[in-house]
Amino acid sequence: MSTEDASARYNYAPGPAQLPTEVVAEAAQAVRSFPPHGRSILELSHRSTDFNAISEQAEGDLRTLLALPDDYAVLFLNGGARVHYALWVQNLSTPGDRLGLVDSGFWSRQAIAEARKLRDVRVLPESPDPADYADLSPADTDGLDFLHYVSNETLTGLSMPTPQAACPLVCDRTSDFLSGPSDIRPYVLCYAGSQKNFGTAGLTVLVIRRDCLREETGLAPGLSYAVQARTGCLYHTPPIYAWYVSALMLRWIRDQGGLEEMERRAQARADLVYSCIDASSFYANPIAPRARSRMNVCFTLADPELEIPFLQQAETAGLIGLRGHKVIGGMRASLYNAMPVAGAEALVEFMRDFERKA
Ligand SMILES: Cc1ncc(COP(=O)(O)O)c(C=O)c1O
């Protein structure tokens, strides 16, 4: 968070999300003057050696964090992640392919709608439970060429484990990427917008198995994963500042102790807030315990009339961004990588205090 905004102590917004103070300070300094360049980073050429150093560091740190095998390419593309609901279909599959898409909630339904415009789609499971995830078996994916799912449904706070599938997996990891260790090998493609766990808005990162980079897609070159990989994601002028902020965040994650440490903090934060909800009849969370997200903790108040005072008093206490998504209402605390455990403690203290006084 900004060092100058002393009144907003913690930002629980779903993204763009809170960033570490030291990352914001370094990014702000680079806007004023980026020493290797001699002027603002906003004027830095994407074809300069200085930018090359930034992109190499970002990719190197991402590869180290994920222990990424050489047969995977990393693409740093302009945002948003949502564009890839159509692009993954056009880049990876061919007409005649049968695609499976898991329905786990709001974002997966956006992905299903896009895929349906382009290919034959099977939606799994047939009757999704909005409060729990589906236990898919490899038999459910028989005859499919790809299975797509959303690992974390940001709106409802539902987390899906890696499905058991007999076909290659594609995953929208936008709201839980780099929040803990993850084996990339079951996937041919993972993609994530940077604005939640590893940067600011404007960038989407793709990790894609190289043998899936098809040249013959018929797509405009800027939309082709193969062209972007071949040109080092410089086919068009990339969002260099968002890329730079992600480079800072990837280095920060590495320096903090990597993905194991991110997972330890994520668990600690989520445990604090869910324990507070479960210990009270004043707050409620509808998601089945095994499916609860560590990134987005949604809750309602027993008396909906108290929601506005809750949000107003939270803001006065310096806790911002707690309003739930307009589609489902209620409250949502997004607890991404840059949220300190103290941010979850502050929220819990406020929630207990609000309940006592209500
Ligand atoms: C899981 C998930 N996927 C996709 C998106 C869309 O991301 P973007 O706005 O970068 O297109 C979001 C945004 O919140 C999200 O939470």
pLDDT in tens, 10-59: 999 999 999 999 999 999 999 999 998 889 999 999 999 999 999 999 99
The enclosing H or E element of 333 equals strand 331-334
> What would the mean pLDDT of 273-301 be, rounded to a whole number?
97
Residue 234, classified by CB atoms within 10 Å of its CB into exposed (0-12), middle (13-18) or buried (19+), is middle
Q: Give domain 259-357's CATH architecture.
A: Alpha-Beta Complex (3.90)
Q: What percent of the chain has pLDDT over 90?
A: 95
Q: Which residue has the tokens 């499905």?
A: 163
Q: Please name the residue whose Cα sits nearest to atom 15 of ligand 1.
A: 174
- Which residues line the pocket of ligand 1, CB cutoff 6 A? 14-15, 79-82, 107, 150, 154, 172, 174-175, 193
Q: Please name the residue whose Cα sits nearest to atom 1 of ligand 1.
A: 174
Q: Please name the residue whose Cα sits nearest to atom 7 of ligand 1.
A: 81
Give, to the nearest 10 degrees, the angle between helix 258-278 and helix 240-256. Answer: 80
Active site residues: 107, 172, 196
pLDDT band at 126 (very low <50, low <70, confident <90, very high): confident
Q: How far is the CA of 142 from the centre of ligand 1 (A)?
A: 29
Q: What pLDDT is stored for residue 8 in this prediction?
A: 79
Q: Do domains 24-256 and 259-357 have the same CATH topology?
A: no
Inter-CA distances, 102 with 95, 131, 133, 204, Å: 20, 14, 9, 21
> What would the mean pLDDT of 139-166 be, rounded to a whole number?
97
Q: What pLDDT is stored for residue 3 in this prediction?
A: 42
Q: What pLDDT is stored for residue 79 in this prediction?
A: 85
- Fold classification of 24-256 is Aspartate Aminotransferase; domain 2 (3.40.640)
Where do the structural domains in the chain lie, given as residue ranges?
A: 24-256, 259-357
**Residue 1: pLDDT above 80?**
no
Q: What pLDDT is stored for residue 90 in this prediction?
A: 98
The tally of CA atoms less than 13 A away on the side-chain side of residue 301 is 19
Q: Ligand 1 pocket test: which of 12, 154, 156, 176 has the largest number of ligand atoms within 8 Å of its C-beta?
A: 154
Q: What pLDDT is stored for residue 176 in this prediction?
A: 98
Q: What pLDDT is stored for residue 4 in this prediction?
A: 44
* Ligand 1 atom at shortest distance from the alpha carbon of 193: 10
Give pLDDT tens digits for 226-285: 999 999 999 999 999 999 999 999 999 999 999 999 999 999 999 999 999 999 999 999
* Ligand 1 atom at shortest distance from the alpha carbon of 195: 10
Rounded Cα gap, residues 83 and 90, in angstroms: 11
Name the β-bridge partners of 50: none
Rounded Cα gap, residues 116 and 66, in angstroms: 32
Rounded Cα gap, residues 172 and 159, in angstroms: 12
Q: Please name the residue whose Cα sits nearest to atom 10 of ligand 1.
A: 80
**Residue 346: pLDDT above 60?**
yes
> What would the mean pLDDT of 138-151 be, rounded to a whole number?
97
Q: Ligand 1 pocket test: which of 76, 154, 174 has the largest number of ligand atoms within 8 Å of its C-beta?
A: 174
Mean pLDDT value across the chain: 96
Q: How far is the CA of 160 from the centre of ligand 1 (A)?
A: 16
pLDDT band at 2 (very low <50, low <70, confident <90, very high): very low
